[in-house]
Each structure stands twice: as structure tokens, then as C-alpha cells.
Structure 1
Amino acid sequence: MKNSTIRKDVPPGTHVMVVKKEDQRTGMLTEGIVKDVLTNSANHPRGIKVRLEDGTVGRVQKIF
């Protein structure tokens, strides 16, 4: 299973669920396809930050 905290597991084109910054308190997830990976480090404990094809920016919580 792929890990949402490891950058190499979230390449562009991946179908994911992300949590947007404004939704972190509620935990509401947004579904989409990764367009750009914004996290530069190899891993991040709260999830890799990505931009989805619709322009939404958030941290990956689930990979399909």
C-alpha cells in the first residue's frame, strides 16, 4: 500500500484525497488527481502537499 507521507508514492496523475488548509479542523477531504507535488522533502509527517488538477492545494490523506 502506498504511503501518503512519502513523496515518491504521490506522483502526478495519482488519484488522491486531500485535506485543504481551511478544512484541517473538520477533517473534510477533497478528492482529485495530482497535478503538481509541492513538498520538496522526501517525506512529510502530515502528508505530502499537492496541487490537484482543479487548482485545489492540500495535503494527501489517502491514495486510491
Structure 2
Amino acid sequence: MDGKKRTDIKSGSNVSIVLKQDQRSGKLTDGIVKDILTNSATHPHGIKVRLTNGHVGRVKVIH
């Protein structure tokens, strides 16, 4: 799954996100979802989340 729908993501999900500073390179960071920050049901660039380690980014892959 690609992380563009909020319903696909739950707190505790294992995901890969792209951080703001990595958007140009597309480098992915793996982690566990702590909070979902996007309020809308979908987002074309991916739902924004906060990981348990504190990193914030948009979900690109749901494992």
C-alpha cells in the first residue's frame, strides 16, 4: 500500500516515510507510527505521521 489513504494507517503500523529534508532524494526512513498528523481522509503526497522515534514525514510504504 502507498500511504495515501488515512484509513490504511493505524497507530503502531510499520511504515516507511520520507522526511521533509529527504523529499528531493526520496530517501525513506522506516519506523512505527505513533501519531497521524493529517486530518483529511486522503493526501496525494502521503499521510503525514509522527514515528515513535519522533521523526515526522509522509508515508510512502506500509509494510
Same fold (TM over 0.5): yes
Q: Secondary structure at the match of 1:8?
A: helix
Q: Percent identity?
A: 57
Partner of 1:42: 41
Return structure 1 stretches of 4+ with deviation > 2 angstroms.
Answer: none
- Count of residue pairs brought into register by the alignment: 63
When the two chains are superposed, the root-mean-square deviation of aligned CA atoms in Å is 0.7
Partner of 2:59: 60
Q: 5+ residue gaps in structure 1?
A: none
Q: 5+ residue gaps in structure 2?
A: none
TM-score (norm 1): 0.95
Partner of 1:21: 20
